[in-house]
Chain A
Amino acid sequence: MANQSGNVYGLTILSPILEDVNAETSHNCAIRMKLASLPRDEHSPFAKVSSTHLARLVVMDDVVYVGMPSCEEHLKSQYLLFETNFDGGLDDYLTRMAHEIGSEVDAVWQHCHGYPGVQDVSAFIAYMKRCQVTTTFYFADVNDKTVGQTLAALQTQAAVARFIDEHQGKSAIELQKSFAEFLQKLKNAPTPVPGRPGSGGPPRIATQMKWGTRN
C-alpha cells in the first residue's frame, strides 16, 4: 500500500477551503493566520499527537502554469493541504487528533467545505478520509522505528558520547562501576519530549565534546 512504508503511514489530505466574498477575513487568510500562530516546538499540537514524525499544513492557492505550449488552467477552490508522517494506523491517528488537539483542528478546518467538527469522531474520520488522496510512491528513510524510539536513541547517542568522553583512561573496575550507574541513569531518564529542540527530552544529557579542538 503506497500510503505506508514499513511502520510509518504517510497521510495526504486535500480539504477544499470555503469561499465567502462577504467575509471580513477570507477563509484562506484566516487559516494562514491561525497556522502562523501555532507553536512549532514541543508546544506544537502535533507534539501532543506524539506518534507524529513530521507534519505540514499548506494553503494551496492554485495549480501552476509552466508556460506555452501547455494550457493555462486554474483551480476553482483553494485547498488546505495536510501532509503528515506518523506511526501506526490511520484511524488511531485521526482519533488522537480529534481527542487530543481537537480545538486546534477545529480552528483550522472550520474554514473548509463540509467539515463536521471533531465532536463526532466517526464523522471527523469519515470527513478526513473523503479528503484523503492516495500516495503514489512513499519513501521513508527510517521506517521501522517509532518517534519515541528515535527520540530515546538520540538521547542515548548523546549520553554515550559524553560517557566515553568523561571516562577515558579509567581502570577496569572504575569503568565497569561507572557504566552500570550510567545505564541505570539512562533507563530512569524521563521520556524525551517530541518537538523540543535538542537531543531529546528533559533532562537533556548535553555532550561537551569538542571535535578537533581538544588540547
Chain B
Amino acid sequence: MTNINHKTYAMNAITPMKWWKTWIVRFFFFILGAIKPLQKDLIQLSFIHFARWVIVKRTGFPRLSEQQPQEELKYDYLIFFSNFNGTWNQYIDAFSAVLSQGLNFIWRWSEKFPGSVPVTPFKQYIARCQFDTDYYYTAYPYATTNDVKAAHRVQAALEDFEKETAGKSPEEFKSAYLKFMITVQCDLGETGKAPIGT
C-alpha cells in the first residue's frame, strides 16, 4: 500500500471551507505558531514526524498555461498532510482523544465537519475527505519519531561521555560509564520492521 512506507503512514485529506471562514483558520494557525506551548499536545503525541495544513484559496490553484482551463470554485480548501507512525485507526483515535479541542478549532470551519468526538462520525468524515498517496519515500523507514528523538539523545549523551572521560583512569571511566548507561538506558530500543497493522 503506497500510503505506508514501513513504519510511516502518509495521510492526505482535503476539506471545503467557505472563503470567509478561512481567515479564522489562518488566525488560529497564526496563534498556534506564535505561542509554542499551544503545540504541547501535538508534540506529546510523539508519533508525527511532520504535519502541515495548507489553505488553497478558490482562486489559488496554480494555472500554468492558457490551455489549462480556469478553475471556478466556490470554496477554499484546507489540505492536511501528515507523516505518522502506526495505523490509520490508531492515529485518528489518538487525535480524537488527545487533540479534540484543537482539531475542532481547525476543522469546524470546514463544511459538514461533525466534530472530533464522538470518534465514529469523525472517522467517517476523514475517510470521505482522504485521498491516497501514489509514491511515498522516507529516509529512515525503520525508525519512528520516538526512535529518532531517542537516537539523538543517545548521540548527545555519547558525545558528552566521550569528552567527560578523556584522560580519566580506568576506575573513573567505569564510574562514568555506569552513569552514562543509566542516562541512555531508556533510549536504546531497537529499530526494525513495523508490526503488522490492524
Q: A and B: partners?
A: yes
Q: Across the interface, do B154 and A157 meet the contact criterion of CB distance under 8 Å? A: yes
Q: Across the interface, do A53 and B49 meet the contact criterion of CB distance under 8 Å? A: yes
Task: Return B23 CB to nearest CB of chain A, in Å.
Answer: 11
> Which residues of chain A are within 8 angstroms of B14 by Cβ–Cβ distance?
60, 63-64
CA–CA, A161 to B155, complex, Å?
12
Chain B CB within 8 A of A97 CB? no
Residue interface bits B50-67, CB-to-A below 8 A is 1, else 0: 111111100011111101
Q: A15-B64, A133-B56, A136-B54 are in contact. Are A83 and B81 (CB under 8 A)?
A: yes
Inter-chain contact total with CB atoms closer than 8 Å: 275
> Which residues of chain B are within 8 angstroms of A120 by Cβ–Cβ distance?
none
Q: Which residues of B contact A (CB under 8 A)?
A: 2, 5-6, 8, 10, 12, 14-16, 25-26, 29, 32-33, 39, 42-43, 46, 48-56, 60-65, 67-75, 77, 79, 81, 83, 110-112, 125, 128-129, 131-143, 145, 147-152, 154-155, 158, 162, 165, 170-171, 173-174, 177, 181, 184, 187-188, 190-193
Q: Which residues of A contact B (CB under 8 A)?
A: 2, 8, 10, 12, 14-16, 31-32, 35-36, 38, 40-41, 44, 46-47, 50, 52-61, 63-64, 66-67, 70-71, 73, 75-77, 79, 81, 83, 85, 112-115, 127, 130-131, 133-142, 145, 147, 149-154, 156-158, 160-161, 164, 171-173, 175-176, 179, 183, 194-199, 207, 209, 211
